[in-house]
Structure 1
Amino acid sequence: MKQFLDKDFVLQTETAKHLFHDYAKDLPIIDYHCHISPQEIYEDRRFETLADVWLGGYQPDGSIAGDHYKWRLMRSNGMPEELVTGRGDDFARFKGFAEVLTKAIGNSMYHWCNLELQKYFGITEPLTPQNAEKIWNKCNDKLKNDPQMSVRGLIKQSNVEYVGTTDDPIDSLIWHEKIAEDKTIDFLVRPSFRPDKAVNIHKEGFAEYIKKLAKAVNKESLDSTQDVIDALIERVEFFAEHGCVASDHGLDYVPFRKLPMEECDKAFKKAMNGEAVTVEEAEGYQTALLVALGKAYHRLGITMELHYSCLRNINERQFKTLGPDTGYDAMANNSCGGNLAAFLSELDKTEELPKTIVFSLNPADNEQIGTIIGGFQSAEVPGKIQHGPAWWFNDSKSGMEEQMKSLANLGLLGNFIGMLTDSRSFLSYTRHDYFRRIMCNLIGNWVENGEYPNDDEALKSIVQGISYYNAKRYFGL
């Protein structure tokens, strides 16, 4: 029987152990998509308790932020919301989570949490309700007294070279400017352009947001679809001046419906007046924006990330109480592969298709994505159109394996740009270690099964590329 979480955790073969320990383990991390706060990086935030850094919840400004993966598990064990996201006693919240974790056999959260305790706090025994108080005290003491346990310290000891945050077009990027000016910060932090609120014409708050976008570009108002496009392009150029190398689009599904601009403007005016728009009208407006932005990304050398098939805020009562991103989202089942292909083709027709990463939250889309991206590769960069890593509900051991197997079956796994955290937690960098172990184990099994030769130089190039070098090259870092 193997020891729990030992140095060869997940690594089943000698080849896998060699690939991980000798080639993957010590490479820097490029975390090209996450949701951590640039302000907290600049201010080098320190956390009062393990609950603050691990569970999150209500923030000083009244917002709710934290790890909704953990919140979902806590609710699944019948914990009251006061102990999940609420203002309940922090130790009670932590001890409750310890009880939850012992039941999470087979869930990658069990691995993540214990990896975090091991890496950042030196705790090698699994967390249980019985040892929760001892671990709580030890971790809190370390958070309080160890200078490496600040936000910057956590990033540095994780060997992170690049952090790509997620930022709204109207953001002043003031914290990014402060970070760039601070010579004591020796890792890169860059903004990523997330224009969802301007694209989602059919969703609540659209008109109010467009007024804020107008203000951001010093206009009294934006009165047409082209005005919105021009404003967004002005903002993405501002982001590019601040080192932005990626955009990010969170879509319910990939729309593609070409309508005359006059029809898009009719839809825009309806939405600005608070009137409902039809699906066809919304898709026409969205397509106009996405095509224009795609061309701008190509011109500016910015990668376009497309996330879709997420069914958001499915619990109306809790959404009204807690707001978005609190653990009430699910996989959607969309048939938008044809739209995705048509959208990429529209940009390719004029040779303005940017580097693009495609993610679906539904793993049933893996093979479809793998076949579509193969139709739009080019000589600009190896793997110009990427099948993004197993995302959100899929970044489990089995989910990561299935995504990589699909990519290997239908494309070139050796050009894959690898893992991202997509996280709001500064402890989540152990997910890169987890991913690298899974990837090395998968490749090691293929080698030991005689499915790929034991060519050490070729294997080193593949493993190190997926772990680090492919993303470094792809984003031009």
Structure 2
Amino acid sequence: MAKPFITETFLLQNKFAEELYFKYAEKQPIIDYHNHLPPAEIAADRKFENISQLWISGDHYKWRAMRTLGINEKYITGNAPDEEKFAAWAKTVPHTLRNPLFHWTQLELKRYFDVDDYLNEASAKDIYANINSKLQQSGYSVQGLLTKMNVEMLCTTEDPIDTLEHHKTLGNGNFGTKVNTAFRPDKAVLIENDTYNDYLAQLEKASGTVINTYNDLKDALLKRLDFFHENGCRISDLGFNQLPFETFTDAEVTAIFEKRRHGGALTVVEADKFKTALLLFLCEEYATRGWVQQFHLGAMRNNNARMHRILGPDTGWDSIGDYMQATTLSRFLDALDSKDKLAKTILYNLNPADNELFATMVGNFNDGSHRGKVQYGSGWWFLDQKDGMIKQLNALSNMGLLSCFVGMLTDSRSFMSFPRHEYFRRVLCNLLGQEMQTGELPQDIEWVGNMVADICYRNASQYFEY
């Protein structure tokens, strides 16, 4: 067997980094305040039949790598047997050197299943059998896996029409991890979508409100906001190319909604007026309720039209977009702040060219009312790897206060993604440890270590007040 890759000092390059990690970061509970985990599987405490279902199904990071290597789609999202899909992924892993997938793969195998062997074609069969055997044991169900990773709180992401039945079940149970939800109203806002009126029919049913006018739409969303709030929701989320901002009148927005409701096509300006109005309305409501709002900006989605038709969204055909962000983002946040209706806010960029832009934008609206009220969010999606994390940490450090940062999240659909918190913590401790060694930071472990503990856990605990 090759020498284990994931050692105690993985990514920790000096004694300062090691002490920061082991004393102040390693044992901190995890608050995963944004992910896309299926709450039904948490509530049912699903026990997976095999590692492919747990680890490969739904993971478009792995799928993109497999496609690049020339693996046929039937072994990715197709109907090949699960063991053959695992073998195809195992074949891919040796080719992922310097891609974060290599680190994540070995770290996840080690932390969940104590597997030190490198995953490759030669080891695939034994590793597959070994892990599948463990998955049938107590402690390896969904709730067991979350407990193993010391997850104190996680927040899934649901549409306003969701019944939250699984969150209710979890709320009435005795699972030690707090499972919350985030309100994601994208489909109610994106009026230009071809399926917009179909979606409103679903919203009508969920809210018990006939939606004929713009005011009806707001009433329906208010009912769903109240319902989510009553069921413990305190976080919202939005995923757009960029935040829109167009000046509007109530009469204009009413007419635009009526036009779309009757099947009319909208101009870009009309759509942006509507989206601006509805988003400002929702964000003011978040502030009134004391919620945290999150904006994920900059993804260019569904680039491959042929594969989107075949497989649908969220299957690995998205990339970084180069949208203009600053002007509309500033005007949108300022419109809320001018009414003192700007909720706690986290901004995430997907284009690394926007790092300093976002890091400085948050400082425009930190008004002293809360510690780190407006946050520059962690490296997201294509940026949640070592280089992306370091660049985000450096931009935040240079332009704001790293000490107030609420730390990492998974943004994942996989129950095996939680070692990414460990990965982030090791990167953070190594970055600080290197600067302690060179004399750029004080060689005071307690001082720097307390900042590490804040970033890894305490800031998020205070910020989200769950």
Instruction: Report the TM range for the smaller structure's normalisation.
Output: over 0.9
CA distance in 2 between partners of 1:336 and 1:273 (Å): 32
TM-score (norm 2): 0.98
CA distance in 2 between partners of 1:407 and 1:285 (Å): 33
* C-alpha contact (below 8 Å) 1:250/1:307 kept by paired residues: yes
Match of 1:210 in 2: 200
Counterpart amino acid of residue 163 in structure 1: L
Counterpart amino acid of residue 402 in structure 1: K
Match of 2:121 in 1: 129
User: What SS class does the counterpart of residue 249 from structure 1 fall into?
Assistant: strand
Q: How does 1:196-207 map to 2 (within 5 A)?
A: 196-207=186-197
Alpha-carbon spacing, 1:383–1:188, altered in 2? closer, same or farther (3 Å)? same
User: What SS class does the counterpart of residue 314 from structure 2 fall into?
Assistant: coil
* C-alpha contact (below 8 Å) 1:51/1:90 kept by paired residues: yes
How far residue 258 of structure 1 moved from its aligned partner, in angstroms, is 1.8
> How far does the alpha carbon of each residue in 1:236-280 deviate from its partner, in whole angstroms, 9 at most, with x for none?
121111111210001121101121122222222232233321110
How far residue 3 of structure 1 moved from its aligned partner, in angstroms, is 6.1
Q: How does 1:71-82 map to 2 (within 5 A)?
A: 71-82=63-74
* C-alpha contact (below 8 Å) 1:147/1:153 kept by paired residues: yes
* C-alpha contact (below 8 Å) 2:161/2:203 kept by paired residues: yes
Which of 154, 163, 166 does residue 154 from structure 2 map onto?
163
Q: How does 1:323-338 map to 2 (within 5 A)?
A: 323-338=312-327
CA distance in 2 between partners of 1:233 and 1:332 (Å): 32
CA distance in 2 between partners of 1:187 and 1:378 (Å): 33
TM-score (norm 1): 0.96
Q: How does 1:54-65 map to 2 (within 5 A)?
A: 54-56=55-57
Q: Does 1:181 align with 2:172?
A: yes
User: What SS class does the counterpart of residue 158 from structure 2 fall into?
Assistant: coil
Which of 87, 92, 112 does residue 104 from structure 2 map onto?
112
User: What SS class does the counterpart of residue 110 from structure 2 fall into?
Assistant: helix
* C-alpha contact (below 8 Å) 1:170/1:213 kept by paired residues: yes
Q: Does 1:317 align with 2:306?
A: yes
How far residue 227 of structure 1 moved from its aligned partner, in angstroms, is 2.1
Match of 1:142 in 2: 134
CA distance in 1 between partners of 2:253 and 2:322 (Å): 27
Match of 2:83 in 1: 91
* C-alpha contact (below 8 Å) 1:225/1:261 kept by paired residues: no
Which of 385, 401, 420 does residue 412 from structure 1 map onto?
401
Q: Does 1:15 align with 2:5?
A: no
Counterpart amino acid of residue 224 in structure 1: T
* C-alpha contact (below 8 Å) 2:19/2:445 kept by paired residues: no
Which of 321, 334, 341 does residue 330 from structure 2 map onto?
341
How far residue 371 of structure 1 moved from its aligned partner, in angstroms, is 1.1
CA distance in 2 between partners of 1:187 and 1:113 (Å): 24
User: What SS class does the counterpart of residue 157 from structure 2 fall into?
Assistant: coil
* C-alpha contact (below 8 Å) 1:259/1:284 kept by paired residues: yes
CA distance in 2 between partners of 1:312 and 1:425 (Å): 20
Match of 1:298 in 2: 287
Match of 2:260 in 1: 271
Counterpart amino acid of residue 426 in structure 1: F
CA distance in 1 between partners of 2:398 and 2:218 (Å): 39
Counterpart amino acid of residue 140 in structure 1: N
Dislocated runs of 4+, deviation >6 Å = none
Counterpart amino acid of residue 18 in structure 1: E
Counterpart amino acid of residue 360 in structure 1: N
* C-alpha contact (below 8 Å) 1:225/1:285 kept by paired residues: no
* C-alpha contact (below 8 Å) 1:306/1:358 kept by paired residues: yes
CA distance in 2 between partners of 1:116 and 1:75 (Å): 22
Q: Which runs of 5+ in 1 are unaligned?
A: 57-65
Q: Which runs of 5+ in 2 are unaligned?
A: none
How far residue 425 of structure 1 moved from its aligned partner, in angstroms, is 0.6
Counterpart amino acid of residue 268 in structure 1: F
How far residue 150 of structure 1 moved from its aligned partner, in angstroms, is 0.2
Match of 1:352 in 2: 341
* C-alpha contact (below 8 Å) 2:283/2:343 kept by paired residues: yes
> How far does the alpha carbon of each residue in 1:285-324 deviate from its partner, in whole angstroms, 9 at most, with x for none?
0111111111111111111100111111000011111110
User: What SS class does the counterpart of residue 154 from structure 2 fall into?
Assistant: strand
State the identity as a percent.
42
* C-alpha contact (below 8 Å) 1:237/1:300 kept by paired residues: no
How far residue 232 of structure 1 moved from its aligned partner, in angstroms, is 1.4
* C-alpha contact (below 8 Å) 2:5/2:116 kept by paired residues: no
> How far does the alpha carbon of each residue in 1:8-61 deviate from its partner, in whole angstroms, 9 at most, with x for none?
0001111101000111001100000001111111100011111000111xxxxx
Q: Does 1:378 align with 2:379?
A: no
How far residue 336 of structure 1 moved from its aligned partner, in angstroms, is 2.0
CA distance in 2 between partners of 1:441 and 1:361 (Å): 24
- For the aligned residues, what is the CA RMSD? 1.1
CA distance in 2 between partners of 1:225 and 1:33 (Å): 30
How far residue 445 of structure 1 moved from its aligned partner, in angstroms, is 1.1
Which of 446, 450, 459 does residue 448 from structure 2 map onto?
459
Counterpart amino acid of residue 406 in structure 2: I
Which of 412, 415, 434 does residue 445 from structure 1 map onto?
434
How far residue 91 of structure 1 moved from its aligned partner, in angstroms, is 1.4
CA distance in 2 between partners of 1:460 and 1:24 (Å): 8
Q: Does 1:250 align with 2:207?
A: no
CA distance in 1 between partners of 2:89 and 2:259 (Å): 47
Counterpart amino acid of residue 17 in structure 1: E
